[in-house]
């Protein structure tokens, strides 16, 4: 096939040019809203497929004491400097209350002592960060279902939103008002009622430390780490999260990450 | 005079339809998916450029890491494999992004998107993962139903004998590819390479990928046991992807060396020109 030879160099050049075009094309596509939402359809598909194929009470794998990571990496906010939060830390969270409100039958305001008096669950689970690493830790806390059974959930409620005490960064175009860029997260009622979904106050047998979200953090064991809000202050039941912050249901979701983080 | 006008003896048909429409379609969709998955996968890797074994990460002793560190000559890229460090400045660990040397495991020209953006990389990755799996299932279903696998990809016993394999390897290394009638069938090295990709590496990619999903792990913890933990699954995902890159390199080299236009035409239109048989071919 020596007749191919002159073509071959041209073909390689064409391929190289095409490659360059493809890379810049991919970047342009990445920023096109319509293309982004088309790509996002895959997340909706993943969410529906996992909800369909994975039973609502299937447990995430639990591990043994020997598997606990010697060092559990703390990510995201590790030392919030918000005034209100610093005041709570200064008083060992004696003044801290967990507020449960929104589409509930009864609003709740729970102290740490009251939370600790609720039935507790302890689980040794793997924490998977969206970045790719995993750490194993032991968590003790009150199942969210226990709290929601006490507050009652109105029939129109579809999501549980967790409002947190920490401001992660400058907001990245979401305004200067700290309240508008506080960390928040949301999950659906399937995950909210899951037996391993707890509000943890202990980690590895000791009260939660500030880097890990003291006094209370969420554990949603079948999703990635960014869903597991730290420094939880309020739990709000809503029909839709479109009116909250960036409208995509979470701090990182507003910055492009998927709302459903089971993958 | 009449004798001069007698027609030539019939020429044996040199062109034949090598690839069915479905193989051609799924091949190109797969090529697109693999390219995007590879490049967005490297973007995702860059968010935590280290590989570990087991369930959880040992941040101090990874099996492989691609990091940047500062030195007196600026940012240096360092790739460490099992404790052995290599200077890979310019390509791995530290490379040019927008005119400036930046800390990033894989360089910007090979990631989607080119800038460091994990969220967007994941969107590309999962969209094209769904497409790759759907496309792969269509191909598999058709491949079994039409007996394509059994007829075209399964080597014959005699071809698997060491002497035959050895001759094929030598022929390939000398860039002597089958021509004429011998080119009608895939040769045994092609068959083995395709079987490895279709039934080995691609399934390995998909299942190790699924093992990294905390949702899937709750439904199928057997996957964790099979691969030896989520971090091992991540390592195998990376290794199998490297294997597929190697496959593609060899595949493209063979396409170029054995008649690029003929090969391309057969994968686009289906028609392949068998060429003249070598008179030296003894088969």
Structure letter (DSSP) for residue B201: I
Smallest Cβ–Cβ distance between B215 and the set A7, A132, A262 belongs to A262
| Phi, psi dihedral angles at B93 (to 5 degrees) | 95, -50
Tell me the chain A residues in contact with residue B123 when contact means C-beta distances shorter than 8 Å.
36, 39-40, 42-43, 256, 258
Is the predicted pLDDT of residue A179 greater than 80, yes or no?
Answer: no
Domain residue limits, chain B: 50-105
Cα–Cα distance between A150 and A170 in angstroms, integer? 37
pLDDT for residue A1: 41
What are the structure tokens assigned to B37, written together?
């998955």
Write down the residue that tokens 């995007």 correspond to: B36
Helices B188-195 + B162-173 axis angle, to 10: 90
Flag if B115 and A7 touch (Cβ within 8 Å).
no
- pLDDT bin (cut points 50, 70, 90) of residue A20 is confident
Flag if A257 and B56 touch (Cβ within 8 Å).
no
A9, A31, A42, A246, best to mutate vs chain B, most B CBs in 10 Å: A42
Tens of pLDDT, residues B31-80: 999 999 999 999 999 999 999 999 999 999 999 999 999 999 889 999 99
Tens of pLDDT, residues B219-265: 999 999 999 999 999 999 999 999 999 999 999 999 999 899 999 99
Q: How many CB atoms lie within 10 A of CB A190?
A: 14
Flag if B48 and A132 touch (Cβ within 8 Å).
yes
Smallest Cβ–Cβ distance between B55 and the set A40, A41, A126 belongs to A126
Cα–Cα distance between A118 and A181 in angstroms, integer? 31
Q: Report the residue of chain A nearest B175, measured CA to CA.
A: A1
Tens of pLDDT, residues A118-157: 999 999 999 999 999 999 999 999 999 999 999 999 999 9
- pLDDT bin (cut points 50, 70, 90) of residue B12 is low
Flag if A134 and B256 touch (Cβ within 8 Å).
no
CATH number of A58-255: 3.90.420.10
Domain residue limits, chain A: 58-255
Tell me the chain A residues in contact with residue B218 when contact means C-beta distances shorter than 8 Å.
54, 58-61, 221-222
Q: Which of residues 134-153 of A touch B (CB under 8 A)?
A: 134-136
Query: For chain B, what percent of residues have pLDDT higher than 90?
Result: 78
Q: How many CB atoms lie within 10 A of CB A6?
A: 9
Flag if A54 and B219 touch (Cβ within 8 Å).
yes
Q: Which of residues 32-51 of A touch B (CB under 8 A)?
A: 36, 38-43, 45-46, 50
Q: Chain B contact for A21, CB < 8 A?
A: no
Could you report the predicted ipTM of this complex, rounded to two decimals? 0.90
Contact present, A116 and A93 (Cβ < 8 Å): no
Minimal C-alpha gap between B135 and chain A (Å) = 15
What is the sign, positive or negative, of the torsion defined by CA atoms of B52, B58, B59, B62?
negative
- pLDDT bin (cut points 50, 70, 90) of residue B1 is very low
Q: Report the residue of chain B nearest A55, measured CA to CA.
A: B219
Q: Which of residues 76-135 of A touch B (CB under 8 A)?
A: 126, 128-135
Strands (E), chain A: 98-102, 108-110, 121-128, 134-143, 159-167, 182-188, 198-203, 206-207, 217-219, 232-238
């Amino acid at each position: 096939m020596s007749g191919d030879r002159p073509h071959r160099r041209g073909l390689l050049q064409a391929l190289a040019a095409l490659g360059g075009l493809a890379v810049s094309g991919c970047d342009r596509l990445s920023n096109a809203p319509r293309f982004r939402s088309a790509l996002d359809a895959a997340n909706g598909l993943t969410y529906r497929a996992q909800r369909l194929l994975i039973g609502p009470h299937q447990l995430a794998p639990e591990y043994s004491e020997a598997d606990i990571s010697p060092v559990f990496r703390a990510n995201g906010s590790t030392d919030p400097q918000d005034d209100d939060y610093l005041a709570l830390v200064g008083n060992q969270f004696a003044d801290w209350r967990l507020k449960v409100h929104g589409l509930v039958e009864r609003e709740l305001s729970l102290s740490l002592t009251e939370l600790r008096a609720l039935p507790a669950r302890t689980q040794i689970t793997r924490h998977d960060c969206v970045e790719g690493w995993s750490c194993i830790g032991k968590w003790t806390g009150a199942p969210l279902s226990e709290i929601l059974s006490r507050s009652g959930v109105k029939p129109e409620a579809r999501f549980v939103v967790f409002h947190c005490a920490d401001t992660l960064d400058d907001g990245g175009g979401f305004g200067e008002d700290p309240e508008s860029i506080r960390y928040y997260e949301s999950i659906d009622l399937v995950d909210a009622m899951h037996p391993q979904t707890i509000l943890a106050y202990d980690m590895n047998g000791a009260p939660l430390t500030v880097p890990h979200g003291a006094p209370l953090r969420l554990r949603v064991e079948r999703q990635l780490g960014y869903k597991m809000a730290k420094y939880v202050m309020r739990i709000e039941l809503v029909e839709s999260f479109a009116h909250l912050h960036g409208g995509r249901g979470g701090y990182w979701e507003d910055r492009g990450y998927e709302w459903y983080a089971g993958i | 005079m009449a004798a001069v006008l007698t027609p030539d003896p019939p020429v044996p048909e040199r062109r034949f339809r090598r690839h069915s429409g479905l193989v051609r379609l799924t091949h190109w969709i797969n090529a697109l998916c693999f390219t995007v998955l590879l490049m967005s996968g490297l973007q995702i890797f860059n968010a935590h450029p280290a590989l570990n074994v087991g369930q959880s990460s040992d941040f101090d002793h990874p099996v492989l890491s691609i990091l940047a560190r500062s030195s007196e000559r600026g940012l240096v890229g360092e790739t460490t494999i099992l404790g052995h460090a290599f200077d890979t400045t310019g390509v791995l660990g530290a490379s040019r992004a927008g005119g400036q040397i930046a800390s990033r495991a894989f360089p910007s020209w090979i990631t989607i998107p080119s800038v460091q953006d994990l969220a967007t990389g994941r969107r590309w990755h999962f969209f094209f993962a769904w497409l790759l799996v759907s496309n792969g299932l269509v191909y598999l279903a058709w491949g079994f139903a039409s007996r394509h696998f059994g007829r075209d990809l399964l080597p014959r016993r005699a071809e698997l004998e060491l002497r035959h394999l050895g001759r094929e390897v030598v022929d390939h290394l000398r860039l002597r590819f089958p021509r004429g009638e011998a080119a009608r069938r895939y040769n045994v090295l092609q068959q083995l390479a395709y079987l490895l990709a279709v039934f080995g590496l691609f399934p390995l990619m998909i299942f190790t990928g699924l093992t990294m999903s905390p949702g899937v792990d709750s439904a199928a913890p057997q996957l964790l046991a099979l691969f030896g933990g989520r971090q091992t699954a991540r390592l195998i995902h990376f290794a199998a992807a490297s294997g597929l890159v190697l496959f593609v390199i060899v595949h493209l080299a063979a396409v170029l060396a054995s008649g690029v236009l003929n090969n391309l035409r057969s994968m686009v239109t289906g028609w392949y020109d068998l060429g003249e048989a070598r008179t030296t071919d003894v088969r």
